[in-house]
């Protein structure tokens, strides 16, 4: 009861097929992981302060927003009001600026400095929004 040469080859083909299939699947998974690490988009909020304003919340964030490998990313400063980015600056490598600091909110005015410039932003509703608000109040 010895195996013939053809029967032993049949068993090897099945094992070879499984090994090739497994190697292909592992290659796809590994490739997806490498792509994510070296070419993917990475967004992380490192620190966040929230300031209440008359028209919503102002979020002052330190974020890491990179494409590809984020090794030694100096981080960005971002000011966001109601989902709209008002200010964004990337820090210089191994520098502490520009970083939004001394953020102050007084009514509809927001002021801050970034170590290079000082900013003052006054926000008021657009004429279209005023008309929409007036129409809602009138019950139209």
User: Would you call 10 helix, strand, or coil by DSSP?
Assistant: helix
Q: Which helix (H) or strand (E) holds 139?
A: none
Question: How confident is the model at residue 140, as a pLDDT?
Answer: 57
- Mean pLDDT calculated for residue range 2-17: 66
Using a pLDDT cut of 70, give the percent of the chain over it.
Answer: 83
Q: Are 8 and 36 in contact (CB under 8 A)?
A: no
pLDDT band, very low/low/confident/very high, at 3 (cuts 50, 70, 90) = low
**Closest by alpha carbon to 80, among 113, 55, 53, 58?**
58
């Amino acid at each position: 009861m010895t195996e013939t040469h053809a029967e032993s080859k049949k068993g090897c083909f099945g094992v070879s097929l499984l090994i090739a299939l497994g190697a292909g699947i592992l290659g796809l998974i590994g490739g997806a992981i490498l792509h994510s690490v070296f070419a993917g988009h990475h967004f992380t909020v490192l620190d966040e302060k929230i300031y209440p304003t008359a028209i919503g919340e102002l979020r002052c964030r330190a974020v890491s927003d990179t494409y590809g490998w984020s090794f030694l990313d100096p981080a960005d400063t971002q000011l966001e009001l109601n989902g709209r980015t008002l200010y964004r600056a990337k820090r210089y490598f191994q520098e502490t600026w520009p970083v939004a600091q001394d953020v102050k909110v007084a009514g509809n005015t927001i002021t801050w400095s970034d170590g290079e410039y000082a900013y003052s932003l006054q926000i008021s509703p657009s004429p279209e929004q005023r008309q929409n608000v007036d129409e809602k109040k009138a019950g139209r």
